[in-house]
Amino acid sequence: MFAKLPRLARNGALVSLPLMVSMLALAGCSKNHGELVVDDTVGVTALRSPCPIVEIPEMTGDVTVLAPDRVDVGAIDTVAAITNLRSHCNDVMRLPQLTTHVDFDVVARRTDTHGARHIDFPYFSVVQRAGTTIVAKHVATIGVDFADGQARAVAHGTATTLVSREEASLPAPIRARLTRKRKAGDADAAVDPLSLPEVKAALAKATFEVLIGFQLTDRQLAYNATR
C-alpha cells in the first residue's frame, strides 16, 4: 500500500517523498532540534538524531464508514481522523534499542445520533527504513464511544516501536567525512559531501520513520483517493 503513496502528510501539509527523505536524513540535533549546521571551513557540525520521524502517510489519516453498496455523500455513516500526533524517543538514554512512544487522538463524527454506540477503528503502526522498506508492522484497534444523542466523540490511541540504534546511526567513516574540516586548497574543498552517492546511500539506510494511520479497506482507500 505504501508504495502507492508518493507523499506524506505532516501536520496537514503535503510534502513530496524525495524532499521528505532528504529532510529526514539531514535533521540534526544541535541547539535547535532538526537543524543541520554546515560551515564552509568546518563541514557539517551537527548530525541528525537517530530517532525516527513520526508521520501519517497520505490518505490514511482519516476514514469514512459508508453504508453498504453506496459511495455518495448521503451514504456516510461515520467519519474519523487522527490528530494531535505526538512522539517521544529515548535517544538520551543511549540504549541499544531506540524506543519511540506515540500518542494520538481519534476524533469521530456520526450522522445518526440515536442511541449509544461503540465503533472500533483499526489502525497501523509501521517502522519504515530508507523511505521504502517496511521493517515492522502492527495493527490494533481504537474504540470510540458515542452517548445517546452525541454526534462527536474522541478517543486516545498509542503505539510503541523499536529501532536498532546501530542501524539508525551513521557509520564512522561517513560521519568523519561529513565533519572533516575543509581547506580552500583541498582538492575536494568545493565538493559538498552530502552530494556524494555513498553519503546519500548511508543517510538513507540510517533513516527510519514511524508511520501511523488507519488500516483502511480497499473501498475506504479508494474513497479517500477520489475526494
pLDDT at residue number 57: 96
Count how many domains the chain has: 1
Burial class of residue 6, CB neighbours in 10 A (0-12, 13-18, 19+): exposed
C-alpha cell at 187: 582538492
| Residue 1 reports pLDDT greater than 50 | no
Q: Domain range holding 56?
A: 2-226
Residue 7: enclosing H or E segment and its boundaries?
Answer: strand 7-10
pLDDT, tens digit (0-9, with 9 covering 90-100), for 170-212? 898 888 888 777 666 666 666 677 788 998 899 999 999 999 9
Beta-bridge mates of residue 139: 124
CA atoms within 13 A on the CB side of 144: 23
| Digit-coded pLDDT (tens) for 133-181 | 999 999 999 999 999 999 999 999 999 999 999 999 989 888 888 877 7
pLDDT in tens, 118-131: 999 999 999 999 99
**180 and 172 in contact (C-beta within 8 Å)?**
no
For residue range 50-63, list pLDDT tens digits in order. 999 999 999 999 99
Q: Report the predicted TM-score, pTM, of the whole model to 2 decimal places.
A: 0.75
Taking the C-alpha atoms of residue 114 and residue 147, their distance in angstroms, rounded to an integer, is 9
Residue 6 confidence (pLDDT): 35
What span, in angstroms and rounded, lies between the C-alpha atoms of 70 and 64?
12
